[in-house]
Amino acid sequence: MIQMYGGGGHGMGGGHGMGGGGGIGFRNRLQEERKTARISQIKREDLKFIMPHVRRQKWRILLAIALTMTMSGAAIVAPWLSKLLVDDYIIKANIPGIVLVSMLMLVMHVMTWLIHYVQTRNSVGLAQRVIKDVRRDVYKKILNLSLRFNTERKKGELLSLVTNNVAVLSDAFSSGIINVFTDIVTLVGVLVAMFMIDVELTSVSLVIAPLILLVILILRGRIRAAFIEVRRKIAQLTARVEENIAGIRVVKAMRVEDRKNQDFMDMSMVNFRTSMKATVLFAGMFALVSINSFLVFALVIGFGGTRYVEGSVSLGDLIAFFQYVIIFLRPIQDLASTYNLFQEAAAALLHIAEYMRYPIDVPEPTPEERAALPSPVRGRIELKDVTFRYGNESLFEGLNLTIEPGEKLGVVGETGAGKTTLINLITRLYDVIGGSVSIDGVDVRKLPSQDFRRQFAVVSQNVVIFSDSVKNNIRFGRPGASDEEVVEAAKLANAHAFIVHMPDGYGTLLSERGYNLSGGQKQLIAYARLLLARPAIAILDEATSNIDSYTEDLIQKNMKNILKQCTTIVIAHRFATLHAVDRLVLLDKGKIIDTGTHDELYSRNAHYRQLYDTQYSRM
């Protein structure tokens, strides 16, 4: 489909859930799960979507493990060399031995630095490859979800999901996981070395360790909940910023800059307070861990010094043991810091998992179900006994409509009659609840979406313009079209005249959403897209609302000549636009109450006559 569109009516159903409110219920259930989740549950449930990407990096992971073991081994050997240097060489005044051990220590530190460099490059590369794939999957998931999903959510929330949340995961993968593994290996190795030096001194040192773990266990739940709330507030703030920037014209026109600025400041303050709450909790945990660490130092100095005076340990033993205590406490403090990172990552992961588990309500057909359209596509559309509802609100019940190949059909009705929803069902942006929609006799649910939507082109009142050149915007539906074909389509759409007067002609870069174009110019570019694509089915949804009557007549004439075999559906509130169609369908509250030409409907249908006369009485 060349262009997606927005508009009024039920079709965009802002906030309606489908199928009895299933989407809203699913989201509420996931949010409740997120409040009570633990990191252990995250590993079992929410990491499923990320594990295939991790497995693809198994050789880098194995390299990271090998490098980690090497660095941890070097960290454990260094204090032992200090013990050897003091007891066997310094005290005994063995100069050659002192030189030998000193050189050995220097070589070991240089090798450790090189290994650390390789480890950092490897771990960051590993993390970025995984996160790149995750970001791609999240973005693809958002694109594959239905129109309903996208209309229920603010764009800023989805933007935050792809950027902020994935960035937090990146930090956890690039440093957190490798650091945790390194710290655990180092802790085990150091404990073994400490017990080898002196069992009693080691036992005294470990008295404080349970207190450190107890602090982490007590505060982890509150910290986790705080960081989950931080992620939610950031998403809301991003959504508000995106919303206000997108609507900057309305904001300025209504002169509500001060009010919007105050709204933003209020949300920023809420986000600040939430972030500070999480920061205070973590800072408190880190401070308590640090205090307990100083208690360990005091015990080692006091008890170890006594043991040395009594002759139970040597001076080299005491120096090496004190170095081991420093190495032992560093991973514990690192684990506290890493726990903070993992809490943030867990909140981000849960947020991402919420979307990754969201059900696809417009699924692709299975290989067994898949069918193909006949070639060439004729464009016959049939809706048979169609039932559709928004939540518990029924719109269509047993709707039947057939549009013949090449027919020009107009759809009229009051706001909320179901015009846009009808188009959304035909283009399968929504799925019917009952009955079927078929193209050339093939149920649209059996057609792969890319093959199916390639047959459509849509021109709407709300034209989507991309931040790209004019010619690339026109060839959006046919990327392989030549420049000559683009120019020809623009001429047929009566857009060539204003394009050539732009700074760089067809190479002019358009701003986001086409803010450097008028509403009419946007619609002319949309018509050029349609004429270039030459689809089997064209849908014009208020497509000439910003174009003058003279230009509209020229475009209609060119379309009639070029798209002779194209089935065309026209939705318009201006009845003048509908005079050229072959047949009109009159919708009222989800029911087709009449069909025929304009003259037939005007003469026999009071509702149609009232709509028509009301519009022309205002002119």
Q: Give the three-class secondary structure for 572.
A: coil
- Cα distance between residue 530 and residue 524, in whole Å: 10
Long-range contacts of 374-378 (CB under 8 A, 24+ apart): 374/440, 374/441, 374/442, 376/536, 377/439, 377/440, 377/455, 377/536, 378/405, 378/406, 378/440, 378/536, 378/565
Closest among 542, 530, 456 to 494, alpha carbons compared: 530
Q: Which residue has the tokens 């034209």?
A: 463
Q: Name the strand (E) or helix (H) holding 588.
A: strand 583-588
381's tokens: 């559309």
Q: What residues form DSSP beta bridges with 592?
A: 587
Tens-place pLDDT, residues 554-591 = 666 666 666 677 898 988 766 766 777 889 999 988 89
Residue 151 banded pLDDT, cuts 50, 70, 90: low
Would you state the pLDDT for residue 401?
Answer: 93
Tell me if the pTM is above 0.75.
no
Q: Are strands 393-403 and 381-390 parallel, antiparallel or unpaired?
A: antiparallel
Of 184-193, 250-259, 597-606, the one with minimum mean pLDDT is 250-259
Widest distance between CA atoms in the chain: 120
Would you state the pLDDT for residue 132?
Answer: 83
Would you state the pLDDT for residue 10?
Answer: 38
Per mean pLDDT, which of 68-77, 286-295, 501-510, 572-581 is the most reliable?
501-510
Would you state the pLDDT for residue 5?
Answer: 38
Percent over 70 (pLDDT), the chain? 78
Q: Residue 69: is its pLDDT beyond 60?
A: yes
Of 229-233, 300-304, 400-404, 441-445, the one with minimum mean pLDDT is 229-233
- Cα distance between residue 362 and residue 377, in whole Å: 23
DSSP 8-state class, residue 434: E
Sheet of 408-412, strand order: 456-460, 537-541, 567-571, 408-412, 583-588, 591-596
Q: What residues form DSSP beta bridges with 540?
A: 459, 570
As a whole number, mean pLDDT of residues 584-612 equals 89
Within 404-471, strands assigned E span: 408-412, 434-439, 442-443, 456-460
Percent over 90 (pLDDT), the chain? 10
* Per-residue burial over 36-53, b = 16 or more CB atoms within 10 Å of its CB, e = otherwise: ebeeeebeeebeebbeeb
Q: Residue 22: is its pLDDT beyond 60?
A: no
Question: What does residue 432 show for φ and ψ, rounded to 5 degrees?
Answer: -65, 150
Bond preceding residue 376 cis, omega within 30 of 0: yes
356's tokens: 């990754």
Would you state the pLDDT for residue 152?
Answer: 61
Question: What does residue 596 show for φ and ψ, rounded to 5 degrees?
Answer: 160, -170
Closest among 268, 20, 16 to 153, alpha carbons compared: 16
Q: Which residues contact 372 (CB under 8 A, 6 or more apart)?
A: 442, 447, 451
Tens-place pLDDT, residues 94-137 = 888 888 888 888 888 888 888 888 888 887 788 788 878 888 88
Average pLDDT, the chain: 78
Would you state the pLDDT for residue 23?
Answer: 41
Of 82-91, 283-292, 388-397, the one with minimum mean pLDDT is 283-292
Of 437-451, 500-514, 574-588, 601-615, the one with minimum mean pLDDT is 574-588
- Cα distance between residue 254 and residue 603, in whole Å: 44
Q: What residues form DSSP beta bridges with 408?
A: 568
- Cα distance between residue 589 and residue 583, in whole Å: 20
The DSSP secondary structure of 289-338, one letter per residue, reads HHHHHHHHHHHHHHHHHHHHHTTSS-HHHHHHHHHHHHHHHHHHHHHHHH
Please check whether residue 244 is in contact with residue 264, taking contact to mean a CB–CB distance below 8 angstroms.
Answer: yes
Please check whether residue 450 is in contact with residue 42, taking contact to mean a CB–CB distance below 8 angstroms.
Answer: no
* Residue 437 vs residue 598, higher pLDDT: 437
Tens-place pLDDT, residues 316-359 = 888 888 888 888 877 776 766 676 677 667 777 777 777 777 77
Closest among 510, 498, 509, 566 to 533, alpha carbons compared: 566
Please check whether residue 200 is in contact with residue 87, taking contact to mean a CB–CB distance below 8 angstroms.
Answer: no
Q: Which residues contact 515 (CB under 8 A, 6 or more apart)?
A: none
Q: Which residues contact 311 (CB under 8 A, 6 or more apart)?
A: none
Q: Residue 517: is its pLDDT beyond 80?
A: yes
As a whole number, mean pLDDT of residues 165-187 equals 74
Q: Residue 238: is its pLDDT beyond 60?
A: yes
- Cα distance between residue 40 and residue 179, in whole Å: 18
In order of their start, the domains of the chain are: 30-356 (1.20.1560.10), 381-617 (3.40.50.300)
CA angle 298, 304, 310 (to 5 degrees): 140
* Residue 257 vs residue 444, higher pLDDT: 444
Q: Are strands 456-460 and 537-541 parallel, antiparallel or unpaired?
A: parallel
Residue 53 banded pLDDT, cuts 50, 70, 90: confident
